[in-house]
Amino acid sequence: MPEIFELNGMSIKMLYRDHDDPHVHIYRHDIELAVVQLDGTLRNGNLEPDKLKVLRTWMKMKHEELMVCWLKASKGLKPGRIKI
């Protein structure tokens, strides 16, 4: 599962040909913490409220880039990395 960005110690990843609505998987130290839809909805898992707030703010700022990554990954292509 390729990492598309690292934010405050959280590794943000996307699976190739993943299911359902656009979303990211959030990891820390190789442990999956949560799955968050690109609209910021926490689908499952656990994130501290402050981390979730930072993630949601970042996702709003990077929404277009996240959608490009999602479209690539959904076709089995490398999603690439999001730049700062």
Instruction: List, for residues 3-48, the tens digit of each pLDDT value.
Output: 999 999 999 999 999 888 999 999 999 899 999 999 999 999 999 9
Q: CA-CA distance, 39 to 42, in Å (whole number)?
A: 9
Strand runs labelled E in 10-67? 10-13, 23-28, 31-37, 42-45
Radius of gyration of the chain (CA): 11
How far is CA 20 from each of CA 16, 29, 35, 36, 58, rounded to the nearest angstrom?
A: 12, 26, 12, 12, 22
Domain residue extents for the chain: 3-74
What number of other Cβ atoms are within 10 A of residue 55's Cβ?
21
Q: Are 12 and 3 in contact (CB under 8 A)?
A: yes
pTM of the model: 0.93
Per-residue pLDDT averaged across 64-80, rounded?
A: 95
